[in-house]
Each structure stands twice: as C-alpha cells, then as structure tokens.
Amino acid sequence: MKTLRVGLCGLGTVGQGVLELLQKNADLISLRCGRSIQLVRVASRTEKPQVDLGNAVFSTRIEDLLEDADIDVIVEAIGGSDTALSLMHAALKSNKHIITANKALIAEHGNILIPLALAANLYLGYEAAVAGGIPVIKALREGLAGNQIDRISGIINGTSNFILSAMSQSGDDFDTALQDAQKLGYAEADPGFDIDGVDAAHKLSILAALAFGMPLHFDSVYMEGISDVSVEDIQYARDLGYRIKHLGICSMDTKGLSLRVHPSLVPSGQMLANVEGVMNAVQIESDALGSSMYSGPGAGALPTASSIVADLIDLARGNTGDMYYNNEATMVGIEKIKTAYYLRIPAVNKPGVLAEVARELSSHGISIEAVTQRERNASQDVAVSWVPVIIITRQVMEDTMNKALASIQASDHVVGKIMRIRVEAGDTHKHNVG
C-alpha cells in the first residue's frame, strides 16, 4: 500500500514527541497498519537544529505544508487558537486530513470543523485532545459503541489534580502547591485555564458529544475551579472518608443532559479517588459493560504523541469514520442537579448554633448524613470565638441548597463564607438529575 505521507506543524513538546515516536517505532507502526507512515515535511516558527528530523524537509512557513501536494495528512501541534484554526480550515480545503491535540479548537469549533471534514470525506482525528495518552475517545467510538452511556466522570486536568494531591499529601496550602506545580512545569505562569476548569470543560464537552450523540456544547458546561478549596477541607473530607478531586461530569437523564466541572468529594475507596499527581482518569457508566475506568498520563510529549500516532495508524488503515450527530436534548443547568453536599460553616462557638443550622436545613427539606464540629488552634482565635461546623447532607436539588445556604449565611452566628462542595458518591448517578 502507498506510504502515508505526513506534514508536522509545530516542533514544541508535542511535535518533538510525535517525531520521536514515528522514528523509534517506525517498523512496528508499519507492521501494525500494513503500510509505512513517513514524516516528509516539518514547519515551525523557529528552527531547532538540535532536533533530528530524519529525511523530513524543514520550513518556517506553515503554507508549505498546505502547498505540498505529496502530503496526505497534517498533524497540528502548535496549539493556540487563531493560527491553528486557520490551518485546520486550510488543510480541509486543500484536501488534506488533519490530526490535532487541540481540545479548545475541537470543543469550540468542532461543530463546524467535523461536518466539513465529513463532507469532504476527510479524517479529523483528535484522540489526543482528551486525557493525553489515554485512548478514551477510541473507547467511546469503538469499544463502547454498542453501549448506552449513562454518565462519564473524570479527572481530566493534570494540573488541578497535582495541586489537590500535593495539598493532601504535604498539607501545603493552595498557593504553595500551585507555586510548586509551576516550578515543576505542570502549571503555566497564568494557570487560570487549568485551575478555573476551562481546560476540563473543553475535554468534557468532547466526551459528552461522543457519548450521547450530541453536537458539542462547551458553552453549556458549568465551571467551578479549585482555588477556594483549603487544606482544611481536604483534611476534613479525609476524616469523613472522602478525597477531594476536580471532576468533569456529564450525565444523561430523562430530564436531559448535564455538563459540569467542579471540586467533588469522592469516597476514598473508589478508584477515582486514588488517582494522584498529574495522572488523568475517566470513568464511564454504560448499560452493557457497567462501570469501566481508563487511567494514565494526561499530558507530556510521548503520551500525547501516542494518541496522535494512534490517529495516524487509524488513517493508514482506512478507519476514517467519525461520529457527529445532530440529536439534541434539553440541557440541564446546575440548579437542577441533585447531589449530596459537604458544607463547612464558620459558626460562632456557642450553644444552640448547630441546632439552628440543622433547623434551617430541615426547613428546606434537607437531611443531614453526618455532622461534626471541629476545634481550632488558639492562635487562630479572633475577636469572635468560632469553630468550623462540618456537615454532609443527603441528596438535594442544587437550587434548594442555594436557598438554604443564603438563609444560613445571613445568620448573625455565621462569621465567614460558607464552603460548599458537591459529593459524588458513585451510585448516586442514577438519580442525579431532578
């Protein structure tokens, strides 16, 4: 069979990983896909003479990739938005397949790009856009294609998971853990994209589209970051049998589709609760297989390259079919989500306050699963003596909880902001939409 000829755009971390894997495993890749895959041209803004390009021709012009008639597929590894988006459109117009790890472009522009590729009978591969080297998109497209998916929950941002893991293991506060992540290269100088949940929301919208046969709905994802999670919350959660993880969750119910990214308490005995550091994990609930989990490195040169090369192999084998559906469902907002809650209430240290909080919750139909009052060090005392009251509630609708918390927050006996974290207890997903 004819050699699949590849043009690589970008020679950063991901681009060099693709180059290394194609060179190192060339014979194995050829054996597995029945034809050779050859990198023929590389385009990058700056030259990197220390990088061995093999027989590939180097250029600083992206246009050279588009104008080279011998190139069958372009691997987009430059990241960002405008230039990468222009490249994708131009590649499709030039009758070239394209493979990318750019989750933001797929999440925000996939509703246009994917149908364009399908109409032109071209392949748009994006396995590397979600969870790095974990083949979770392939699992949804192929391995679980005969299953009805009910719910996906996952740790899909390594930066946030590293920070929460560091806070749990060392007792460092959020700012210290973030600085460590930046020193190690796990967090950007401006980390908002990761710690505020935007990156996870991009990935979640892609998973949801594949799982539920929907167009991409990035704009409908509820996002909450991790910067308000304190080391005390992590310690209290651990004492109660939970770990705090930053999860992306999508689920389909008779009421519709919900998409949300936020910190969550996960029972410590569950596998998802024990995924540490920069690792990613995606748990899928389906009717035939049941619960399955896919875990591994969510970023890095070779893990990401692994997924990109997997897309190249699919293309070389002729497996170019993509899934894109126009099915729609009602989007369920966060206010209609039904879940349990962890509450940390800074309350005046006097008799009757806990009973007052319990009465207020009860007046809104909210039952308490567990409650404890924590001691504080004397050095923390201020003008008003207060203690954190820790409560785990049973399941309740979000809008009901919001009303109850507004009443409790207004009490003279509450001396600071109430911390609220949702509890994802595994078997609650069957009833998670009210």
pTM: 0.93
Dist CA 47 CA 43 (whole Å): 9
pLDDT per position in the chain (434 positions), as tens? 799 999 999 999 999 999 999 999 999 999 999 899 999 999 999 888 899 999 999 999 999 999 999 999 999 999 888 999 999 999 999 999 999 999 999 999 999 999 999 999 999 999 999 999 999 999 999 999 999 999 999 999 999 999 999 999 999 999 999 999 999 989 888 999 999 999 999 999 999 999 998 899 999 999 999 999 999 999 999 999 999 999 999 999 888 999 999 999 999 999 999 999 999 999 999 999 999 999 999 888 999 999 999 999 999 998 876 666 667 878 999 999 999 999 999 999 888 899 999 999 999 999 999 998 877 654 455 567 889 999 999 999 999 999 999 999 999 999 999 999 999 975 443 434 33
Could you give the residue range(s) of every CATH 3.40.50.720 domain in the chain? 4-129
Burial status of residue 119 (CB atoms within 10 A of its CB: 0-12, 13-18, 19 or more): exposed
Dist CA 21 CA 30 (whole Å): 12
> What are the residues facing 37 on neighbouring strands?
4
For residue 96, indicate whether it is catalytic: no
Residue-wise DSSP of 296-328: EE-SSHHHHHHHHHHHHHHHHHT----------
Range 286-312 burial, b when 16+ CB lie within 10 A, else e: beeeeeeebbbbbbbbbbbbbbbbbbb
Q: Are strands 419-423 and 368-373 parallel, antiparallel or unpaired?
A: unpaired
Q: Which CATH class is domain 145-295?
A: alpha beta
* Domain range 4-129, CATH architecture: 3-Layer(aba) Sandwich (3.40)
Side chain identity, residue 222: Y
Decide: helix, strand or coil at residue 207.
helix
Among residues 96, 103, 203, 336, the one annotated as catalytic is: 203
Dist CA 244 CA 226 (whole Å): 10
Q: Could you tell me which CATH number the domain at 334-431 has?
A: 3.30.70.260
Could you give the residue range(s) of every CATH 3.30.70.260 domain in the chain? 334-431
Could you give the residue range(s) of every CATH 3.30.360.10 domain in the chain? 145-295
